[in-house]
Structure 1
């Protein structure tokens, strides 16, 4: 395994590759992403501990989407079982992935806990437990501060775990070592990841504005409500596809990518 430092423009390449891979197998990748979302939602519905267990399995599930993209990249059809690819690599691999998931869940709960110091836990409760969000709550300065603090704290957490599931699964690294190399890779390639993040932000915002504009032009407010959700889910699936290419370019291995 070798760490690569790529130019900033590579970030835009990852975005294009992810979109291109999605449209090679749109039905399969959409279905896998919906299964991913459904599994996380069902786990989250379990009282008290459901949200925590969903967080534990999130790294393994995101690895499954990366593995599905790799199958498409190799001109293969991704089967549903690929979503649990990270938990099917033997007892040692499964243990490493679950340790990684436990560390991620604890890190995420820590982020929410720090945000609770700002608004008394309203934002954390809404995110972890669910519930309805009214305008009065949304407009509270404390709630907004907690939301922005959570976003700020989640960025380094995301960096630590961005490549970690793939490094654990495909390179057999222990959880802590994979987290270390993931952090180093993201910091070393921060310019490419900045371009990557900005492009996806523009794509999501542009799509939202486009659908809203079309809805206004045709005079049908229901159109935006019906079109936004599937559009956002498709874009989210493309985003997860593009994360595979960020890993592929940040790390090279003659064994895996020969």
Structure 2
């Protein structure tokens, strides 16, 4: 694993956008399938509230596999949604989902530890909060969000390493953290670039359309597109760090079994 300069992050985003432009409809359709299953999982008794967070790595694999298909000249079809739900990668990806849930719990814990009283005031109708309390809440939200973002970036390569390299969770975590730390400038540049692109686009929409329902719909659509672009960028980064992916995985002895 080589070190990457900051400009490599911009190249990842640029190539990710080019990848998205090849099949925007297919990738967005795959993403909407992931969203539908995520929403449907919320009706599961007991586990419904946490199921979307635990299933996040499996949905991420679906999008990354879609990116790999597009990159190799194939169509990104909705059936790729099941890529992460098949053996033998299903169990380790669910473990990563549990880790994702832990990161969220830590971030929420930090938020409530710093501004729990203010959060309770905001939840009241009408909100009973002073400007000084609101400022403190914004700082707490920023810190908690940054904490989760750092954790996600450090582990972002774990799921594709599990899926494409057939690594165990602990080994994949190690290589993901090492790769991100060695190329932290590039990853930071990519993250900031994606954020600024979404922020500027949303600001332009608000300036043109104001705060109408149409503006809200457009801003939400831009957010969804940014999430897909993030996975396109992540795929490009993975490909440059660990080499091209092989769509014919896993091996014959470990051929995926349908999830029934």
Q: Aligned-pair distance for 1:189?
A: 0.4
Is 1:208 aligned with 2:202?
Answer: yes
Is 1:119 aligned with 2:110?
Answer: no
Two-structure CA RMSD over aligned residues (Å): 2.9
- Summarize the Cα distance change of 1:170–1:214 in structure 2 as closer, same or farther, 3 Å threshold: same
TM-score w.r.t. the length of structure 2 is 0.82
Question: Do the aligned residues in 1 keep the contact of 2:239 with 2:245 (CA within 8 Å)?
Answer: no
Q: Name 1:19's counterpart in structure 2.
A: 17
Q: Name 1:248's counterpart in structure 2.
A: 239
Q: Aligned-pair distance for 1:157?
A: 1.3
Aligned residues: 245
Q: Name 1:28's counterpart in structure 2.
A: 26
Q: Find the residue that maps to 2:230 and give its secondary structure.
A: helix
- Summarize the Cα distance change of 1:210–1:253 in structure 2 as closer, same or farther, 3 Å threshold: closer
The 1-side partners of 2:245 and 2:116 are apart by 51
The 2-side partners of 1:158 and 1:132 are apart by 31
Question: Do the aligned residues in 1 keep the contact of 2:58 with 2:90 (CA within 8 Å)?
Answer: no
Is 1:152 aligned with 2:146?
Answer: yes
TM-score w.r.t. the length of structure 1 is 0.83
Q: Name 2:251's counterpart in structure 1.
A: none
Question: Do the aligned residues in 2 keep the contact of 1:11 with 1:193 (CA within 8 Å)?
Answer: yes
CA offsets per residue over residues 201-233 of structure 1, 9 Å max, x none? 2211111122123226xxx94542342222322
Query: Where do 1:60-209 residues align within 5 Å?
Result: 60-88=58-86, 90=87, 92-120=88-116, 140-209=134-203
Which stretch shifts more, 133-142 or 40-49?
A: 133-142
Which stretch shifts more, 245-254 or 137-146?
A: 137-146
Q: Aligned-pair distance for 1:235?
A: 2.6
- Summarize the Cα distance change of 1:251–1:36 in structure 2 as closer, same or farther, 3 Å threshold: same
Q: Find the residue that maps to 1:51 and give its secondary structure.
A: coil
Q: Aligned-pair distance for 1:138?
A: 9.8
Q: Find the residue that maps to 2:6 and give its secondary structure.
A: coil
Q: Name 1:43's counterpart in structure 2.
A: 41
The 2-side partners of 1:66 and 1:133 are apart by 42
